[in-house]
Amino acid sequence: MAEEKDNKLSSYLERLKQQAATQQHYGGDITPEEAKMDMRDCPACGAGRAFEKGLTSCAYCGFVFMDIKLTDGVNIKKENNS
Amino acid sequence: MSDNPLLEPIHGITLEDYSAACAKMGSGLSEADIAKALGVEVPVWQEANLLWPERMKQDETFHIVTLFGQYFGQADQHPKFSNLKAAVSAEGGANTDRIKSDKRFYEELEVARQVAYEYGLDGAQWIADKYGITLGDFQIAASNWNAQIHQDIAADFDGYNERQAAYRAKYQQLFADAQGGNVADDIEF
Amino acid sequence: MFGFFNKKYDNPALLEEMKTRQERWFAFLDKLEARMQELTTAAIPGLREIFDQDADPYKRAHSNMLQGLLGQINHMRQKANDIKDEQIIDFVYQAEAMVPAVTSTVGRDYHNRIMNFRMACLNRHYIFDEKLNKCIQRLQLAAGERDLERAYQEQLRAFESIRDKFSCRQCGGNITIEKMFFIDTYVTCPFCHSQNTFSPSTGARMILHDARALAEQRTAHLRRAYEKSDPREPELEKVYLRAMIDEWNKIIPDMAEENEKFYQRLLREQYFHHFK
C-alpha cells in the first residue's frame, strides 16, 4: 500500500518534470544570438546612410527611410531627424 | 488629455500605435513586421518599446495604462495593422472570432488557461494548440470583455462564482485525468 | 420556579459525534500534511535540476514545474477547505440549532462544548494552513536565487571581448562599440560616417531585462533592514529605494533619466502610504 503510494508520487513527479522539460513554450525557444552589425542601404539609390544627414531620409536622393519625427529617446535623439 | 506630456508620441509612435503593436506581437508578428507596419526601423521601434512602459510606470494616475488596455483591445481596427495577420488555421480563425464575440466562451477558456498552468502546462501554448487562438488575440478579448465582466459580477456575484467554479471543476478534472489524478486524491475525510 | 430551566438535557450521541468528527478531522489533516511534506521533499531535487538545466533565459521550464507543484499543494488546501465547510462549520450550525438555548444552564454547557469543538477544529486547520504555506515557500525557494551578478559580469566580459571586432558595412573600417548597448541602435563609422545598425547579443539584452532584479539583489540587505524595522521606518525605505535605483542606474546608465522619474513616483507613493 505504502509502496504503491510512493510509486504514484514518484511517477507523478517524473511525469511533471518530463513535461516541464519537453513541452513547447508559447513564443517558442529563445535561440541565443551573437551581437552583429548591419546596414540598411538606400533602396532607391543604393547609397550608404550618412550620419550628417540624419536617419529619416537618404542624404543623396532624399528617399524617406522613416516617415516619422524622431524625439529624444534612449540613443536616438531629435537631432537625428533628416 | 492632449496636454499630458506622458501621451506625446515617442519617435512618432503614439500610444494607439504602441498598444496595437503589443497586441500584434502577442499574435506572433515579429519585431521586423511591427516596425515595418509602423513605418520605422527596428532600433526606433525598440526604443519606443522600452520607453512607453516607462511612461506607464511614471504615471501614478494609471491613465496611460488604462488607455493602453483600451487601445490594445482595438488593435484589430488599427489601420496600420489591418492587413497584417499571423498565419492561423480556419478553425483557429473561427475560435478567435468566437472568443471576441461570445463572452461565456472567453470566460471558460480564461479559466482553462489558468488551470492548465496549475497542472504544470504552458497555458498560453495549450490554448494555441487546442483552439488555435494566439495569446495576443486572447488578451484582446480580455481587454474587451473586462468591463462587462465587472458589471456581471456586480449584478450577480453568486451566479458568476458558480459559473467559474463549474469551469474550474471541469478543467481540473480534465488535467488531473491526463496526469493520472491529483497527488492527494486518495485521502478522504 | 417550575424547574423548567434545570430540566435535564442530555445528548450523548451529539457528544460522541463531536468526538469522532474531531478525530476524523485531525486524522484527515494529518494525512494531507504528510502527503504535502512528502511531495515537497521529493520534488525539490528535481526542481533544482530543472532550474540548473533550463537554458531558457526566462527559466520557463522551471516555472511550469513549480506552478504544477503549487497547483497540487493548493488542491490540498482546497480539499481541506471544502471538508472544513461541509463537515465542521455546517455541522456546528446544525448542532447549535439542536441544543437548548445558550441562556439556559444546560444550553450553555452544550454551547460551550460545541464552541470547544469548533475552536479545536479551526485551530488544527490553522496549523495545517501554516504548514502548507511553509511547503509553498520551500518549493518557491528550492532552486535558490538566480545569480544575476555572475550573469552580468559574464556579459561585461563578453562585451569587452567583442567591442572592437566589428567593421563598417560600407567602407570596412574598424568600428569600436563605445559602450554596452542593450537594444538595437545606430552606430556611426568613424571613417566614412555611415550609419550602421548594431544588434546586441541575446545575453546583453537580458541584462536590461534583469537589471532591476540585480539591483534588488545587490541592495537586499537594505530592504531587509527596512522590513525588520517595527513600526516600519519610512527613512529606511527611502535609503533602500535610493540605493536600489543607484545600482540600477549603474547597470543601465542609459535608463538613468527614466529611472529617476520612476523613483520620484515611488517617493510620492511612499509619502502617501506612510502618512495618509
Q: Domain holding C30: CATH number?
A: 1.10.132
Domain residue limits at C133: 12-141
Q: C179 and C134 in one domain?
A: no
Q: Kindly give the interhelix angle for C90-98 and C12-53, rounded to the nearest 10 degrees.
A: 170
Q: C162 and C86 in one domain?
A: no
Q: Locate A14 and state its grid cell.
A: 517524473
Provide the number of structural domains found in chain C.
3
Can you list the pairs that C145-149 forms with residues at least 24 positions away whose Cβ atoms lie under 8 Å? C145/C217, C146/C59, C146/C210, C146/C213, C148/C210, C148/C213, C148/C214, C148/C217, C149/C214, C149/C217, C149/C218
Q: Locate C12 and state its grid cell.
A: 450523548
Q: Give the type of residue at C235.
A: E
C224 falls within a domain: yes
* Phi/psi of residue C166, nearest 5 degrees: -105, 155
Kindly list the distances between the CA atom of residue C217 and the CA atoms of A60, B61, C149, C221, C226, in Å, as whole numbers in the listed order: 51, 29, 8, 8, 15
Q: C22 and C132 in one domain?
A: yes
C5 falls within a domain: no
**In the predicted model, what is the mean pLDDT of residues B84-93?**
75
- Say how far apart CA C86 and CA C92 lie, in whole Å: 10
Going from the first residue of chain C to its last (276 residues), give the mean pLDDT of each consecutive group of 10, the final group possibly shorter.
Answer: 59 95 98 97 96 91 97 97 97 94 89 96 98 97 91 96 94 94 95 93 96 96 95 92 96 94 88 59
Put simply, the answer to whether C72 touches B41 (Cβ < 8 Å) is no
- Say how far apart CA C244 and CA C228 lie, in whole Å: 18
> Which of B47, B57, B118 minimises the CB distance to C67?
B118
Q: C179 and C79 in one domain?
A: no
CB C182 within 8 A of CB C205: yes
Cite the beta strand spans of chain A per DSSP E.
Answer: 36-38
Q: Is C225's Cβ below 8 Å from some Cβ in B?
A: no
**In the predicted model, what is the mean pLDDT of residues B13-21?**
96
Rounded to two decimals, the ipTM of the complex is 0.87
In this structure, the dihedral spanned by the alpha carbons of residues C34, C36, C38 and C42, taken in order and rounded to 10 degrees, is 180
Q: C137 and C153 in one domain?
A: no
> Which of A10, A35, A50 minimises the CB distance to C162?
A35
Q: C134 and C37 in one domain?
A: yes
**pLDDT at residue C106, as a whole number:** 84
A residues 48-77 lying closer than 8 A (beta carbon) to C: 48-52, 55, 74-76
Residue written as grid cell 439542536: C98
- Each domain of chain B, given as residue ranges in start order, spans 5-81, 90-178
CA of C24 to nearest chain B CA: how many angstroms apart?
6
CB C229 within 8 A of CB C236: yes
* Phi/psi of residue C15, nearest 5 degrees: -60, -40
Q: C163 and C135 in one domain?
A: no
Query: B37: helix, coil or strand?
Result: helix
C231 falls within a domain: yes
CA of A11 to nearest chain B CA: how many angstroms apart?
9
**Residue C246 falls in which region: left (phi positive, over 0), alpha (psi -120 to 50) or beta:** alpha
- Say how far apart CA C15 and CA B35 lie, in whole Å: 74
Give pLDDT tens digits along chain A (82 positions): 567 777 889 999 999 999 999 999 998 888 899 999 999 888 899 888 887 778 999 988 989 999 999 999 999 999 999 8
**pLDDT at residue C3, as a whole number:** 44
Bond preceding residue C200 cis, omega within 30 of 0 = no
Q: Give the type of residue at A7.
A: N
Burial class (CB in 10 A: 0-12, 13-18, 19+), B162: exposed
**pLDDT at residue B91, as a whole number:** 81
pLDDT digits (tens, 9 = 90+) for A23-46: 999 988 888 999 999 998 888 998
In sequence order, the 6+-apart residues with CB closer than 8 A to the CB of B29 are: B37, B84, B86
**pLDDT at residue C179, as a whole number:** 94
In sequence order, the 6+-apart residues with CB closer than 8 A to the CB of B53 are: none
CA of C186 to nearest chain A CA: how many angstroms apart?
8
